[in-house]
Amino acid sequence: MMGTTWSHGLMGSGMGLGWLIGVVLIIWPLWRICQKAGYPGALSLLALVPLANLGLLYFLAFAEWPVLKGRETNGAERPVAPDVADRPLARPTHQDDDEPPPPPVVQRNR
């Protein structure tokens, strides 16, 4: 009978370790998402509570994030991040007037 108790103890500690790893893998990214959205990171602890975890998921998906309030929308429903809005769409043209730009590379099929 001692052998079965010992094996159950190992299985229980392995399950506890697996549970701990699972919690870290879920809570850590949720904590970061909550912080980046402008909410307290501790809100991610709701993921440990049954049914509250689904509420947290839908809240983060559909609530207006405080960090995005006041940003321009450019006519779209979602705000555009400033780094995307300010980035040029294409590479800048050749700036030196003295030197012509290099010719384009043409690939030929053989």
What pLDDT does residue 39 have? 94
Contacts of 56 (CB under 8 A, 6+ apart): 30, 43, 44, 46, 47
Tokens standing for residue 1: 């009978």
What pLDDT does residue 45 have? 93
Domain residue ranges in the chain: 30-60
What pTM did the predictor assign? 0.52
Residue 46 and residue 56 in contact, taking contact as beta carbons nearer than 8 Å: yes
What single letter denotes the amino acid at residue 39? Answer: Y
Mean pLDDT by 10 residues, the chain (110 residues): 54 76 91 94 92 94 89 59 60 62 76
Q: How far apart are CA 63 and CA 57, in angstroms?
A: 10
